[in-house]
Amino acid sequence: MAKSVPLGARGEAEDTVQFEHTLRARHPDLPPVYSTPEMIGLMERAAFHALQPYCEGDEITVGTSINIEHRTATGIGARVRAEAVLQSFDGRFYTLRVTARDECSEIGRGMVGRAVVSVSKFMERMKKSRT
């Protein structure tokens, strides 16, 4: 990343919980509540949005670690907003504090790690590993 990312850089992502985002979509005996993997995906998108404006050329950031608590259930139709705030960085590795809220309360929180990669270099490495 040629551009310096300021601590406190923020990103958001928002979604409305649909059936396909629920536990029941994975198994009929489970309740129709927002699944943890869906919440984590929303948090990761918020983290991506926080860092992407600072990437250059074909750079993107990819997830490297997660430490998330899913604290409260939320159901179909709820609007969920995730926010990510840059807490620290070490070279090309970034740590962001993330939260997810529905209309009533915080439903999840934690930390995610992301790393900067060049898409072209990444794809080249993938080609070599398959041959």
Is 70 known to be catalytic?
A: yes
Is 44 known to be catalytic?
A: yes
Token reading at 118:
């060049």
CA distance 22 to 31: 8
H helices, E strands: number in the chain: 2, 5
> If residue 43 lies in a helix (H) or strand (E), which one and from where to where?
helix 36-51
Choose, from 44, 61, 74, 83, the residue flagged as catalytic.
44
Distance of CA 97 to the CA centre of its chain: 10
Is 14 known to be catalytic?
A: no
Choose, from 36, 69, 103, 124, the residue flagged as catalytic.
36
CA distance 83 to 69: 14
CA distance 78 to 18: 8
Enumerate the active-site residues.
Answer: 36, 44, 70
